Amino acid sequence: MIFEELNLGHCITTNHPSIALVGAGVIGMPILRALLSSPNHPNVIVLTRPGSKNKDLLNDLPPVSPIVIPVDYTDTSALTALFKKLSIEIVISALASTGYNAQYNLADAAKASGSVKLFVPSEWGSPTEGAKDKGEDNIFAIKDRVAEYLKSIDLPYTRFFTGLFMAYVPWVVGADVDGKAHIQGKGDTPFTVTSQEDIGGFVAHVLTSLPLTSPELVNTSLRIQGQQITLRQYAQVANKSIVAVTENEAIPGNTDEDKALKAFLQKHIEEGTATTGWDHRTEREIEGATGSANKMWEGHVWQTIERTF
C-alpha cells in the first residue's frame, strides 16, 4: 500500500471529522452514500482490498466521489501509518463475514495510530453481546469476539444492531428462487428488519452530529429498528403464496451454502431471538431495548415493508 504517493492534501479538511470506511459492499455502500450526503461534510476515505469487485461502484457516487485506497488488511504497520497520516478519527468496518478476522489488525492499527477515537465493528444484524461468553459457535460469537477484543485493547467502540436487512427478507424465504415464501415453523414470530438506506443514514447522522467522546457513542450498543414483522406478514404484504417447509426439507437456494444460511436465519427468527432487543446473556428480550436508539434520529420516517414490497 503506497499511500505516500497519493496527493490527499487538497481533499482532507481539518475542520471536519475524518472517517475511514473499510469495505464498500452490501452495507458499506449505503453508509458511504449517507456520509457523502451528510450536511456535516465528513472527510471520507474508503479502504478496499486490491482488486475489489466493488471499486467500480465508487465512481458514481453523488454528490462527490470519495478517496479510495487499496490496502492490505494484514499489514498492520502500513494501516497504522495510514490512519496517522490522514488523522483518521473514526474507523467503520463494513466487512463481510469473510473479512471479519481482518478487524483485529484494523483495531491494532487504529489503537497504535493515536488518532482514532472510535471503532465501529462489523455487526449490522441481530445483537451479539454475550454470545462469546455463552459459548455459542456461530456468527454471533464471531462478531462478539471482535467487540471483546476492542475492549481488551481499550479502543472505544460503537456497535450497531440493526436486525435483518429489509431487502433480504425475500431471499430468506426463498422467494428469490421461485417467487414463493417458504417458511419453516409457524412464521408468526416477530423480528426486526431495517432498510440498508436507513442504517446508512442513521450511522452517518449519529457519527457526524455527536461528539466522538459522547457517552451515547463511546462503548455503547445502538439498537435500531425499521419495523417489526413476521414472515407471514411479509408474505401477505408482498402477495407471496406460502409453502410450509419441514425441518428435513431445504429452503430453495442457489447453493448449498445459501440453503444452510436461510435455514439458520429462519430458525433464529422462529426462536424469537431476531429482534434488536435480544440479549444472549439472559436469553430473553431486554424490555424497551428493541429500536431504543431510533429516537437519536429525531423526525426520521423509517422505511417499512409496505412501502418496499
- Cα(275)–Cα(21) distance, rounded to whole angstroms? 26
- Cα(233)–Cα(274) distance, rounded to whole angstroms? 15
Burial of residue 50, with CB atoms counted within 10 A of its CB: 0-12 exposed, 13-18 middle, 19 or more buried: exposed
Task: Give the predicted TM-score (pTM) of the model.
Answer: 0.94
Residue-level pLDDT at 12: 58
DSSP characters over 182-213? EEES-S---EEEE-HHHHHHHHHHHHHHS-TT
Q: Between 28-37 and 196-209, two packed helices, what is the crossing angle to 10 degrees?
A: 50
Cβ pair 27, 167 in contact under 8 A: no
**pLDDT averaged over consecutive 10-residue blocks of the chain (309 residues)?**
46 75 96 95 93 62 78 97 98 97 99 99 98 91 98 99 99 98 98 99 98 98 99 98 96 97 97 98 97 99 97
DSSP characters over 39-74? TT--EEEEEE-TT-TTGGGGGS-SS-PPEEEE--TT
Q: Give the CA distances from residue 259 to residues 148, 158, 248, 278, in Å, rounded to whole numbers and listed in that order.
A: 30, 32, 12, 25
Cβ pair 158, 222 in contact under 8 A: yes
3-state secondary structure of 142: helix
Residue from 97, 50, 98 nearest 72 by CA: 50
Query: What burial letters (b/e) apply to 117-153, b meaning 16+ CB within 10 Å?
Result: bbbbbbbbbbbbbbbbeeeeeebbbbbbbbbebbeee
Show the domains of the chain with their CATH numbers. 16-162+195-223 (3.40.50.720), 165-193+226-275+298-308 (3.90.25.10)
- Cα(148)–Cα(280) distance, rounded to whole angstroms? 14
Q: Are strands 90-93 and 118-120 parallel, antiparallel or unpaired?
A: parallel
Please give the DSSP secondary-structure letter assigned to residue 122: S
Residue from 229, 227, 226, 207 nearest 218 by CA: 207
Rg of the chain in Å (alpha carbons): 20
Please give the DSSP secondary-structure letter assigned to residue 99: G
